[in-house]
Structure 1
């Protein structure tokens, strides 16, 4: 079964996208995670995976951003 974004990660992704102070990488990762909330056939693109990786390595990002980025990165096809 394909992975989808869970409800907690989807809520976090929506918060990230609605925030005016969130950076581009966080928004890219959040958008990818939110797209996959109900679409098991979708997978994270290379660009979104790179953005998600940057978010997870950055110590300044919020828990919501990290949650969305982790969800997006976990759905990257190998």
Structure 2
């Protein structure tokens, strides 16, 4: 089990992203994951870890999207 949670600041940015009409689908997915991880009972799924990893390796995503991806990965399952 993972005991890390999203920071208040990151959760706030993620919430704003979800209502941003300019935000990509992938950014909104990562933002939703960040928000769901405000609780210690939630942890990143293996699929979301894979997506976040690919986002960080790509040059086509915005800094905001990469920031959400990094947050998601930082909260990944300690045993994976």
In 2: Cα distance, 1:29 partner to 1:53 partner: 11
List alignment gaps of at least 5 residues for structure 2: none
Specify the structure having the higher radius of gyration (Cα).
2
**Number of residue-to-residue matches in the alignment:** 77
Once the two structures are superposed, what CA deviation does each residue of 1:36-77 show, in whole Å capped at 9, x if it has no partner? 11x112100122212212222232323222222111111110
CA RMSD of aligned residues (A): 1.8
Matches within 5 A, 1:1-78: 2-37=3-38, 39-77=39-77, 78=80
**Structure 1 unaligned regions, length at least 5:** none
Which aligned segments of 4 or more residues in structure 1 are displaced greater than 4 angstroms? none
Q: How far is 1:32 from its partner?
A: 0.7
TM-score (norm 2): 0.77
